[in-house]
Amino acid sequence: QQKVQQSPESLIVPEGGMASLNCTSSDRNVDYFWWYRQHSGKSPKMLMSIFSNGEKEEGRFTVHLNKASLHTSLHIRDSQPSDSALYLCAARTSSGQKLVFGQGTILKVYL
Partner 1 sequence: EAAVTQSPRNKVTVTGGNVTLSCRQTNSHNYMYWYRQDTGHGLRLIHYSYGAGNLQIGDVPDGYKATRTTQEDFFLLLELASPSQTSLYFCASSPQGNYAEQFFGPGTRLTVL
Please, what is the minimum distance in Å from the beta carbon of residue 52 to partner 1? 12
- Where does residue 36 rank: exposed (0-12), middle (13-18), buried (19+ CB within 10 A)? buried
Binding site for partner 1 (CB under 8 A): 1, 4, 6, 32, 34, 42-46, 49, 51, 88, 90, 92, 96-104
d(C-alpha 81, C-alpha 102), whole Å: 23
Comparison of 79 and 105: residue with beta carbon closer to partner 1: 105
Strands 105-110 and 10-14: parallel
Comparison of 77 and 93: residue with beta carbon closer to partner 1: 93
Please, what is the minimum distance in Å from the beta carbon of residue 46 to partner 1? 5
| 84: nearest Cα among 51, 20, 40, 46 | 40
Comparison of 68 and 98: residue with beta carbon closer to partner 1: 98
Comparison of 76 and 89: residue with beta carbon closer to partner 1: 89
Inter-residue contact 20 to 73 (CB < 8 Å): yes
Please, what is the minimum distance in Å from the beta carbon of residue 39 to partner 1? 12
